[in-house]
């Protein structure tokens, strides 16, 4: 039986709201508790590091992918179950997505948005059918959800685009949604 892998996109910083860090920790633990593998950007900083350390502490497998130029900046976490170094950011995103069964997006910045939009675009184009979830901690992703609705309302995407993204508000809700989506 195939072990499910959950790709988590999130910030290389922790942000200003303590709930972001608490949720990253809870999500990492919950992924491991399910017996799933964490796929993420291989950094040991910010929400990335918190998620990975929580998964490791709970006994979970971790699959990290980092481009060579970010090894120092994001403090490449070399004690993962699998640690992959790529040449480019594009290659990193492809390896992460291709090694995952679902995508969860915690709060983050431009990099997390880039990863989210690439996964969403690939889904829209039929390149994958993996579930994509925005973990909307304290309303962090509400403006993004509004933007996606605006894109549809303005005729730049079919309403089906909205069906490709589910929104959850806690690690436990995310795990429940993942169980349903992956069964």
What is the predicted pLDDT for the residue at 162?
A: 98
Cα–Cα dist 50/66, whole Å: 16
**The 3-state secondary structure of 119-157, one letter per residue:** HHHHHHCCCCCCCEEEECHHHCCHHHHHHHHHHHHCCCC
Quick one: pLDDT at residue 73? 84
Q: What is the pLDDT of residue 72?
A: 86
Helix pair angle (110-124, 89-98), 10° resolution = 60
CB atoms within 10 A of CB 138: 13
Q: What is the 3-state secondary structure (H, E, C) of 107-121?
A: CCCHHHHHHHHHHHH
pLDDT of residue 1: 65
Class for the domain spanning 5-182: alpha beta
Domain ranges within the chain, ordered by starting residue:
5-182
Residues in Cβ contact with 82 at an 8 Å cutoff, skipping those fewer than 6 apart: 61, 62, 63, 64
Mean pLDDT in order along the chain per 10 residues (183 residues): 92 97 98 98 96 98 96 88 95 96 98 97 97 98 98 97 98 98 94
Three-state DSSP state, 172: helix
């Amino acid at each position: 039986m195939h072990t499910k892998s959950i790709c988590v996109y999130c910030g290389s910083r922790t942000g200003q709201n303590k709930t972001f860090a608490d949720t990253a920790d809870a999500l990492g633990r919950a992924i491991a508790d399910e017996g799933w593998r964490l796929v993420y950007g291989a950094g040991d900083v910010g929400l990335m590091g918190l998620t990975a350390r929580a998964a490791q502490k709970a006994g979970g497998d971790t699959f990290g992918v980092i481009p060579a130029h970010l090894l120092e900046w994001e403090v490449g976490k070399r004690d993962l179950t699998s640690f992959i170094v790529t040449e480019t950011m594009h290659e990193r995103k492809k390896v992460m997505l291709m090694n995952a069964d679902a995508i969860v997006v915690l709060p983050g910045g431009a990099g997390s948005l880039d990863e989210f939009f690439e996964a969403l675009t690939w889904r829209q184009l039929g390149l994958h059918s993996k579930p994509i979830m925005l973990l909307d901690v304290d309303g962090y992703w509400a403006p993004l959800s509004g933007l996606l609705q605006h894109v549809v309302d303005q005729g730049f995407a079919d309403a089906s685009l909205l069906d490709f993204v589910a929104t959850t508000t806690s690690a436990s809700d995310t795990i429940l949604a993942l169980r349903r989506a992956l069964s």
